[in-house]
Chain A
Amino acid sequence: MAKSIDVSDLNLYYGDFLAVKDVTIPIAARSVTAFIGPSGCGKSTFLRALNRMHELTRGARVEGKIMIAGKDLYGTEVDPVAVRHQIGMVFQRPNPFPTMSIYENVIAGIRLNGTRMKKSAADDIAERALRGANLWNEVKDRLSRPGAGLSGGQQQRLCIARAIAVEPEVLLMDEPCSALDPISTGAIEDLIHELEEQYTIVIVTHNMQQAARVSETTAFFNLQGVGEPGQLVEYGETTKIFSNPEKEATEAYISGRFG
């Protein structure tokens, strides 16, 4: 699995407001790409455009092209539901379904779609996803307990397990560690390294050390001023961006001179 994504000349709008302007970036398969940049520069908006969640906001529009494995994501015959099935997402705040147990949360992506499967098959998927998310050992004895009863870090790993249980091609993560303590953050970063072998991962983060730790490629977003659209300043190998960036703004941002 794992597919690469090619974005070209992408403009994202909220109504008349141009939020993200002219983004062109290739995202390699089986690697981690990190988006960094100041708040409000359109990282999250861009991430949401990658699995067609952007259009759920009222008045939101997309111009330009996103190609995934040679197919246009915004082609007229493409079903957004199918897209989201292939491109999973983990959100900033852990959001397990409060009405469901840990087990039901993990297989929610299958159950909610009405797919009928044998109990044993579902058990297998749940165990594999929970093992994949490094959560199995902590919850294997209480799978029928409510998912909302776990700690914040465990909930976030539960959400990751839920996302990988449907076996997507791409995993999008929108500041997955911003609500977590350093130990849970470490657990999730380890997990990202493991998942990288099978998935294409895109992660938005405010933590530059985190971007340096987990990603192969880093893209820096910035905005010229308040009310201006966010832009992709530059992207490249993480080691290069953090040691010898081409643009002055990137240098200023990563060295802490602004932002």
Chain B
Amino acid sequence: MTTTLQKDPSAPTEEPLDAKQLPRLVNWYVLGGAVVVGGVLNLLLGWNLAGCAVLALILYLVAIYVLARVVEGRRKATNRLMTGLVTTAFILALLPLVAVVWTVVDNGWGALSAEFFSSSMRNVVGEGGGIYHAIWGTIIITGLSTLISVPIGIMTGIYLVEYGSGALARQITFLVDVMTGIPSIVAGLFAYALFELFFGPGIRMGIGGAVALSLLMTPIIIRSTEEMLKLVPDELREASLALGVPKWRTIVKVVLPTAIAGIVTGITIGIARVIGETAPLLIIAGSTDSVNFNPFSEQMMTLPVFTYFSYKQPGVPPEFGIERAWGAALVLILIVLVLNLVARLVSYWFSPKVKS
């Protein structure tokens, strides 16, 4: 018994191959028209600018949909509408980012000067002074926390992927997920409580800040190391083991080098995440006007804390303090930027090269 497959005559007919199309640049024409309408309403009738932008956007979406529906058919009209919506979402997501960078550069640029980078705030009231002490504080504290987090993070990641199985690995993964979400102030309080046990109440020192930050950084590094090691194909591990290479050497010489680019990126993300932390450092690293290179004694200033205090207590007259706050924020952003560039370079150098 055979049944032949027959086309259902009621099914929609196929689109002809040479269906009508709108001109190639039509969406730009429509967009231009919508913007002009919005601009006219804004300038002549004095409507609110943001309102006009939203209106122009809606106008564009409706016009392009109707136009495409009439000329090109339903599928392409939906395509154009969705493209418009997705692009809008992208621009909306980008808007605050650009605005933040713009505001900080605009306000902070004027503060940057040789004196700003080379002097501390010791004995400075009003004009002058700088962030020398805060830059060093940030570098020392973030550097120490990286020193603490990277070995723990990478080794935990290796354990989870290469050795861990069963209940212990599952529990570690769960705890790491929980740790990723702990509020930074809790990390600061933990570090304070820990150091208070040894040094008594009121303790403030840079290493405490490093411990607090490493608490925030370690889970990020564990997670990214774990994900990167999982991406290394098992074939490479087997190839190495089949050559009679012990497991630990396989991990050190084959698995880690293959994944190093991603791991370095993960470390950079971790650093960028903690370098701007204020709350935990406020509690345990403290705040000072002087340079302090010793993380094991006395308070230590950092860029975020500097920014906070310069804005909160700008001094008399206040404009110099506020300008310094913006300047410090700009420097912080620049440091993160440089770190990201360095990470890009490092992953470029280390990553496996396929092209011959």
Asked if B258 is at the interface of the complex by the 8 Å CB criterion, the answer is yes
Interface core residue of A56, A99, A145, A159 (most chain B CB under 10 Å): A99
Nearest B residue to A52 via CB reads: B241
CB distance from A155 to the nearest CB of B (A): 11
- A14 in the interface, Cβ–Cβ < 8 Å? no
User: By the criterion CB–CB under 8 Å, are A159 and B239 in contact?
Assistant: yes
- Contact in complex: A166, B244 (CB < 8 Å): yes
Give the complex CA separation of A58 and B165 in angstroms: 9
- Interface flags, B157-177, vs A, CB<8A=1, else 0: 000000001000000000000
Interface pair B356/A145, CB less than 8 Å apart: yes
Chain B residue numbers with a CB within 8 Å of A113 are 243-246, 249
Nearest-CB residue, chain A, relative to B249: A112
Interface string of B34-76 (1 = CB under 8 A from A): 0000000000000000000000000000000000000000000
With A84-B243, A98-B354, A148-B354 as contacts: A114 and B238 at CB distance below 8 Å? no
Q: Tell me the count of chain B residues lying within 8 A, CB to CB, of chain A.
A: 24
Q: What CA separation (Å) do A150 and B356 show in the bound complex?
A: 8
Give chain B residues whose Cβ lies under 8 Å from the Cβ of A166: 243-244
* Chain B contacts with A in 88-128, Cβ cutoff 8 A: none
Q: Is the interface of B mostly helix, strand, loop or mixed?
A: helix
Q: Choose among B235, B240, B253, B257 the residue that contacts A93 (Cβ–Cβ < 8 A).
A: B235
**Contacts of B236 on A, CB cut-off 8 Å?**
95, 97-98
Determine whether A24 belongs to the interface, using a CB cutoff of 8 Å to chain B: no
Q: Verify B240–A112 contact, CB threshold 8 A.
A: yes
A77-101 contact mask (Cβ, 8 Å, vs B): 1 or 0: 0000111111011010101111100
Known contacts A93-B235, A146-B354, A149-B355; decide if A114 and B243 are in contact (CB<8 Å).
no
Cβ–Cβ < 8 Å partners of A82 in chain B? 244
- Asked if A85 and B244 sit within 8 Å, CB to CB, the answer is yes
Contacts of A142 in B (CB 8 A): 356
- Is A112 within 8 A of B253, CB to CB? yes
Contact indicator A53/B241 (Cβ below 8 Å): yes
Flag if B245 contacts A81 (CB, 8 Å). Answer: yes
Contacts of A111 in B (CB 8 A): 253
Q: Are B245 and A109 in contact (CB under 8 A)?
A: yes
The smallest beta-carbon distance between A1 and chain B, in angstroms, is 15
A-B contact pairs, 23 of them (CB 8 A): A53-B242, A56-B241, A82-B244, A83-B244, A88-B242, A89-B242, A97-B258, A99-B257, A99-B258, A109-B244, A111-B253, A112-B240, A112-B245, A112-B250, A113-B243, A113-B246, A114-B249, A146-B353, A148-B353, A149-B354, A149-B355, A150-B356, A166-B243
Q: Which residues of B contact A (CB under 8 A)?
A: 165, 233, 235-236, 238-246, 249-250, 253-254, 257-258, 352-356
